[in-house]
């Protein structure tokens, strides 16, 4: 497995730990629908939270959260719509980004709620 894949997997594990510490119930990880993959689907109270995790080992080319494309957002919306319909849910949905910056022995986690309103 390539190093960048390992970094991404480790970032997603750290994001799950972060969410659980913040009182979220993690319902799914790596949920797939057609060409889309949702990194984490969680729930906090009556809100279904769709989380895109972006992990980098350096901020030299920008912060991790800056790498969520419009196409990725469209795919996430389509996938979560399918998830909600299949699960027959009636919930509010929020899209978050968890940016994980892993530099040597220092890990920074930035949880951005309603992230797509910031782009």
Q: What is the pLDDT along the chain (119 residues), one digit of tens a residue?
A: 456 678 889 999 999 999 999 999 999 999 999 999 999 999 999 999 999 999 888 777 777 677 788 899 999 999 999 999 999 999 999 999 999 998 888 999 999 999 886 44
How far, in Å, are 6, 32, 41 from residue 2 at the CA level? 7, 21, 25
- Per the CB < 8 A criterion, the answer to whether 38 and 50 are in contact is yes
Neighbours of 64 (CB within 10 A): 23
Cα torsion 5, 8, 14, 18: sign? negative
Say if pTM beats, i.e. exceeds, 0.95: no
Output the CATH code of domain 3-117: 3.40.1350.10
- Per the CB < 8 A criterion, the answer to whether 111 and 66 are in contact is no
pLDDT value for 65: 76
Domain-wise residue ranges, the chain = 3-117
Q: Which residues pair with 47 in a beta bridge?
A: 44, 92
pLDDT value for 1: 46
């Amino acid at each position: 497995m390539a190093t960048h894949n390992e970094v991404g997997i480790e970032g997603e594990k750290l994001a799950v730990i972060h969410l659980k510490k913040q009182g979220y119930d993690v319902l799914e990880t790596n949920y797939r629908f057609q060409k889309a993959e949702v990194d984490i689907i969680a729930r906090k109270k009556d809100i279904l939270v769709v989380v895109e995790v972006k992990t980098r080992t350096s901020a030299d080319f920008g912060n991790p959260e800056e790498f969520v494309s419009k196409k990725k957002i469209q795919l996430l919306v389509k996938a979560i719509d399918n998830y909600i319909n299949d699960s027959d849910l009636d919930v509010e949905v929020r899209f978050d980004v968890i940016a994980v910056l892993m530099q040597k022995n220092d890990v920074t986690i930035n949880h951005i709620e309603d992230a797509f309103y910031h782009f």
